[in-house]
Amino acid sequence: MTGGPEHARDKPDAVFHPEVQRDKKSTPTIAVAFGGGGARGLAHIHIVEALDELGVTPVRIAGASIGAIVGAGMAAGMRGEEIREHTFSTLGRKAAVAHRLWSLRPPSMRAAMGRGFRLGQFDLERILRVFLPAQIPGSFGALPIPLHVSATDYYGQREVCLDTGDLFPALAASAAIPALFMPVTVNGRIMIDGGVFNPVPYEHLMPHADIVIGVDVVGAPEGDGTHVPNRVDSLFGAGQLMMQAAIAMKLRLEPPHIFLRPSVNRFRVLDFLKARQVLSESAGIKDELKRALDAEFERRVRA
């Protein structure tokens, strides 16, 4: 897996979208797709910050799983610095996390004992309402920037792109990792993690912007090739490999103009308490994005 940006101009079979072609002297429009990957997706904050520093506001945003959550913050008008500060204030301290989780406890001991503990019983929508910033509104229609949220229709065996109606159920559905969180019902359908079908949903943006950025934080197993993974690592690692296979196929068919992979492989999907480490180790992606955008702008001026 490569770590740097890839460009559609290097791919001769890139799909041409005439509906977004404009005067070459005008400022190109930009859209960004944030991929799924659990705590590794905190690296998306760098992408938001880089665009802020360049004075770029995306015309559209797409996201899967954690990418949909970070994307919702950006679509709501939050700057990267605000998202970073909120992340540190909620996830950077164990006491703050414990306090918020305590607010989600069952209303009574009878309720807790009646349900018992079952893996995958956690209601992600309730968790998101406790942890996400107040700036994120309750509906797609209240977002200043259009947002496309990728979820998986479990029984329909397909991807669903959610972009209207209530926002929090859509975000919960998109991030409902199987075996960790309960599936979410949206529009009468049972939904699970959007990354199952589409880990980096950039293709939804291709008809709508001149330059589309895709950011992959799925990661992949790392090791010396001889160490036997434990059961949990092998389960999540197998999921990573399947999602990377899907991404590789998408890149062959229709790559985005810029494709980025932050350095997040060593982190696990639930390493949210390592927010500072994730951001520290993936900081280089900011300059990668800026260089890639500079190159893309220059290419368009010369064309």
**Catalytic (active-site) positions:** 65, 193
| Helix 66-75 × helix 80-91 angle, to 10° | 130
Residue 245: burial class (beta carbons within 10 Å; 0-12, 13-18, 19+): exposed
Q: Which amino acid is at 1?
A: M
CA dihedral for 198, 204, 214, 271, sign (positive or negative): negative
- C-alpha 204/C-alpha 238 separation (Å) is 26
> Which DSSP helix (H) or strand (E) runs through 6?
strand 6-7
Whether the CB-CB separation of 260 and 5 falls below 8 Å is answered with yes
Select from 213, 199, 192 the least CA-distant residue to 247. Answer: 199
- C-alpha 272/C-alpha 227 separation (Å) is 25
- C-alpha 293/C-alpha 7 separation (Å) is 10
Select from 212, 182, 164, 232 the least CA-distant residue to 33. Answer: 212
Whether the CB-CB separation of 155 and 190 falls below 8 Å is answered with yes
Whether the CB-CB separation of 185 and 201 falls below 8 Å is answered with no
Query: What phi and psi values does residue 121 have, to the nearest 5 degrees?
Result: -90, -10
Strand partners, 148: 62
The encoded tokens of residue 5 equal 């940006």
Query: What phi and psi values does residue 262 have, to the nearest 5 degrees?
Result: -60, 160
